[in-house]
Amino acid sequence: MSEKQEKIVSMFDDIAPTYDVANRVMSMGGDKKWRRKACDKAFGYYNHDKIENIVDVACGTGDMMGHWQQQAQHNTIAVENITGVDPSEGMVAVAREKFPDFNFFIAKATELPQTDASADFISITYGIRNVIEREAALKEFHRVLKHGGMVVILEFMKNENLSFLGKIRDFYMNKILPKVGGFISKNREAYEYLPNSIEDFLTVEKMKAELDAAGFEVLYDESFSMDISTLIIAKKR
């Protein structure tokens, strides 16, 4: 693991105990709505009543896994296995406590423990931005997904053409969020990392181009709440 990647993992280990509270406060609960929308849209595109495997990469404290389960029940879809993968032992420790019936692995996005063509869905929510070797991770997603399987990405994307609302978003991300997150977690540096990582990340169009190059067909993209969060759903070709 690179030194930069190790530093990111260590940062998430440190903020794991307060991560869920900080997320709820900073998104004003919006992240729950965004996650539900991601699951429902993905189920709609896949159009199967029974699903064998869902793998949540960079699963953190397991929130997205809980939403996969909840929305599957809501849509009367039978899901056999939901598995979380994350390199942060601190985050996974919280996830295991919240969801003792799910399976978890400590692993990087570039080295998933799943076998070839074994997953119906791979989701990564607010995690692809933190993967240093992103191209290798997308190739790994392609390896693990079944033919026609879906990758579901929720992320804070870079916006190069700022509207008035976009400027409000950036003010919130750069000025308000680090103070709020830092106060809750007692680690301001971790929440200063967030706006900096967005600025260094990709636009939606560049993310879609990387997915295409990795062998995916982008089916859907939508941005929420002044473009704070973006959903991308792509199918393995």
| Cα–Cα distance measured from residue 53 to residue 65, given in angstroms and rounded to the nearest whole number | 12
Using DSSP bridges, classify how beta strands 145-155 and 229-236 pair: parallel, antiparallel or unpaired: antiparallel
| Cα–Cα distance measured from residue 74 to residue 76, given in angstroms and rounded to the nearest whole number | 6
Residue ranges per domain, the chain?
3-236
CA angle 70, 115, 50 (to 5 degrees): 35
**The whole model's pTM is what?**
0.88
Per-residue pLDDT tens digits for 98-114: 999 999 999 999 999 99
User: Phi, psi at residue 200, to the nearest 5°?
Assistant: -90, 0
| Cα–Cα distance measured from residue 110 to residue 92, given in angstroms and rounded to the nearest whole number | 17
Q: What is the mean pLDDT of residues 138-145?
A: 98
Per-residue pLDDT tens digits for 166-187: 677 677 777 777 787 777 778 8
Per-residue pLDDT tens digits for 62-80: 999 999 999 999 999 999 9
Half-sphere exposure of 218 (CA within 13 A, CB side): 17
CB 228 within 8 A of CB 156: yes
Strand partners, 145: 119
Query: Tokens 């029940």 correspond to what residue?
Result: 73
Q: Percent of the chain at pLDDT above 70?
A: 93
Output the CATH code of domain 3-236: 3.40.50.150
